[in-house]
Amino acid sequence: MLRRFLFPVSLLFVITFATACGSGGPLAPSGGSVSLDQEWQLGDQLAAQVDQQVQLNRDARLNAYVRSVGERIHARTPLANRPFDFKVINDPNVNAFSLPGGHIYINSGLIAQADKADMLAGVMAHEISHVVARHAIKQVEQQQQISIIGSILLGQNPNALQSILANIIAGGAMARFSRADEKEADDLGVGFMSAAGFDARGMLDMFEKLLSLEKTRPGAVERFLADHPTTQSRIDDIRKRIQGMPPGIVDEPEYEAVRQSVS
């Protein structure tokens, strides 16, 4: 695994590309500086490098199921016409992260701790929501760091790309989230997962379990909670948000079967 590297201040807002988010609605205009095509191109470059540096899980049945969950949720988003990619990393630590352009990574350790299919769906919906909202792109635009994006897309700034990659590999995600950021991703996520047929309580159950694990096995969830601060107030917000939502899929036989491969 790569070590964390120090990088120039000018890269700080580009480094928010891994699941960072801002304030604004799910399809608020990004200002036009970075098109969706450019965002997907950048994401593809980052994902190609990440795939070479992590140990991807090759279990065909497990990956097919994770893709199925991801695509069911993705299909209910405003970016359903854009390609998304879902992969499992062989890592016992509980973690998940996303890259621009619809690349979602789930650690095997998170799957092992997600007792039911709706709990896995809750995490995936949360990560998908960061991509759908284009939070990272908005933050970069607000800080006027567009030239760095352009230089990466043109292949003129390999050092910037490698600095971003180093942080992804070292920490999973590359940014810390504010309470407002997390709430927005939670709100969007429960809506998307419910529309996809999953029980939205799964997100609540997953975060409640993470809080419990923080007390009993803090090392296992340290990385996830560093990038996704889970507090009781956040859990209470999710509980309020899901009130009145219809019941949905809680668990599936296929999930129970594939989860055994990582438990």
Segment 108-139, tens digit of pLDDT: 999 999 999 999 999 999 999 988 987 666 66
Say how far apart CA 99 and CA 14 lie, in whole Å: 12
pLDDT at 57: 97
Say how far apart CA 252 and CA 196 lie, in whole Å: 14
Domain range for residue 213?
9-259
The set of residues, in sequence order, having a beta carbon less than 8 Å from that of 56 and lying 6+ positions away, is: 87, 88, 89, 90
Global pTM reads: 0.81
Say how far apart CA 25 and CA 129 lie, in whole Å: 11
- Write out pLDDT tens, residues 185-238: 899 999 999 999 999 999 999 999 988 888 888 777 777 776 676 778 888 999
pLDDT at 219: 77
Say how far apart CA 225 and CA 94 lie, in whole Å: 9
Active-site residue set: 127, 186
Q: Is the pLDDT of residue 160 over 50?
A: yes
Q: Which residue has 């997953």 as its token pair?
A: 206
Count: domains in the chain: 1
Q: By C-alpha distance, which of 77, 132, 75, 71 is closest to 101?
A: 132
Identify whether 52 is part of a domain: yes
Identify whether 3 is part of a domain: no
pLDDT at 25: 37
Comparing 57-66, 135-144, 252-261, the range with the smallest average pLDDT is 135-144
Identify whether 4 is part of a domain: no
